[in-house]
Amino acid sequence: MASTADFRNGLTLNHKDNLVSIVEFQHVKPGKGGAFVRTKLKNVKTGRVVEHTFRAGEKVEIVRLMNRKMQYLYRDSDGFCFMDMETYNQVTILTELVGDQARFMKESEMVDILYHGEDPLGVEIPFHVELKVVKTDPGVKGDTAQGGTKPAELESGGVVLVPLFINEGDVLRIDTRSGEYMERAKK
């Protein structure tokens, strides 16, 4: 058991029978009354963020999560299949646990699988990925005065808004946290 004095961003706790990660915390010492810790907690499984206030010194249960590097193999009706490159064991993770990140995962890419014991909790992909544009409308010359955008389908199946000068076959850097186009990849 640990106390609120051990809080730091990213720490995972067992709070009200849910695994939550500390997004933000603040120790508060008011003029009257006891000190407390105001926190924002993100549910590891659902991604929902809630605010909670702990009394200073309150005991909490810290949970150790483990990251395993795995290779994304394919998607089927059951979910997403990954392979551990050390043991060659294959694991299928439900689509709900992968979430919105699936649109930026390319087959044979390495990702981190978050585990609590033997239970997979989710997938963490790199913050930036390079993906090829497989389908987009051609940009019209002289149509760039307003800095317009158009949808582009990526090789992973995801769709992002890109500037009008992007063509099919271009390789793009994508920010996976926001899902936005960053730049064309350097060749």
From residue 136, alpha-carbon distances to 15, 148, 151, 166, 173 in Å are 46, 14, 6, 8, 16
Quick: pLDDT tens for 99-157. 788 889 988 899 998 888 888 888 888 888 999 999 998 866 655 556 678 899 999 88
Over residues 173-177, mean pLDDT: 88
Write down the domain spans for the chain: 2-62, 66-124, 128-184
Quick: pLDDT tens for 74-91. 998 888 999 998 999 999
Residue-level pLDDT at 120: 85
**Dihedral sign (CA 100, 93, 97, 4):** negative
Instruction: State the distance between the two ends of the chain, measured CA to CA, in whole angstroms.
Output: 51
CATH superfamily of 128-184: Nucleic acid-binding proteins (2.40.50.140)
User: Given pLDDT bands bounded at 50, 70 and 90, which one contains residue 187?
Assistant: low
- Give the span between the Cα atoms of 61 and 63, in whole angstroms: 6
- CATH classification (class only), 66-124: mainly beta
From residue 54, alpha-carbon distances to 25, 46, 67, 187 in Å are 10, 22, 28, 51
Residue-level pLDDT at 3: 86
- CB-based contact 72:120 (threshold 8 Å): no
Q: Tell me whether the CATH fold assigned to 66-124 matches the one assigned to 128-184.
A: yes
Average model confidence (pLDDT) across the chain: 86
User: Given pLDDT bands bounded at 50, 70 and 90, which one contains residue 94?
Assistant: confident
Residue-level pLDDT at 38: 93
Would you state the CATH architecture of domain 2-62? Roll (2.30)
Pairing status of strand 90-93 against strand 110-116: unpaired
pLDDT over 90, % of the chain? 23
Residue-level pLDDT at 70: 93
- CB-based contact 15:34 (threshold 8 Å): no
Give the global pTM. Answer: 0.69
- Give the span between the Cα atoms of 119 and 102, in whole angstroms: 19
- Give the span between the Cα atoms of 112 and 125, in whole angstroms: 6
Quick: pLDDT tens for 13-69. 998 888 898 889 999 888 888 899 999 998 887 778 899 999 988 899 988 888 889
Over residues 160-184, mean pLDDT: 88
